[in-house]
Chain A
């Protein structure tokens, strides 16, 4: 079975706080890809990052960083020094090579208050 769990339904922080969005996945595939997308109020999903199952290196892109740990089946996303523009719904997604389709988590709504 393929499943993505984002246990945090909604998070509220004050601007400049750091925030981590959790993502736990389940798959029997040995080859798979993990993604994070941002969905602002306009509705359009914006790609943030893709990781394949063979690349456990953490990644940093500006204020964004991702921690991929196969041992705990987690792919967490941290925003450092959050800004109001970071307010959106964030989705974690899994693409398994055998199932050949995307499975999305339920999303985490992030509210960044000034």
Chain B
């Protein structure tokens, strides 16, 4: 149980274009999804928290107009990197959690999406 998928697993796009990354909870409903960014050999940096049906909350320093997050259903959140630049190249990881559940407060991670902007 508690499986989270991401699509695509890797993507290459040209500078100036936009790319969308999907995060799905496959066997549970995710009231909340988190988006992280990870640079090589570094820790995970939380970018934003999205709650189903409401606007995402962005961490300080993260441009909300550049990283558009939509959480339209309890099983799907999307991250759109708009007007991508080479410095946006990174490993993007989502995680999901059902805050309505009693018991463990764990979040479950997706497998990540490698974005390369040329």
The yes or no verdict on A and B being binding partners is no
Interface residues of A (CB under 8 A from B): none
Interface residues of B (CB under 8 A from A): none
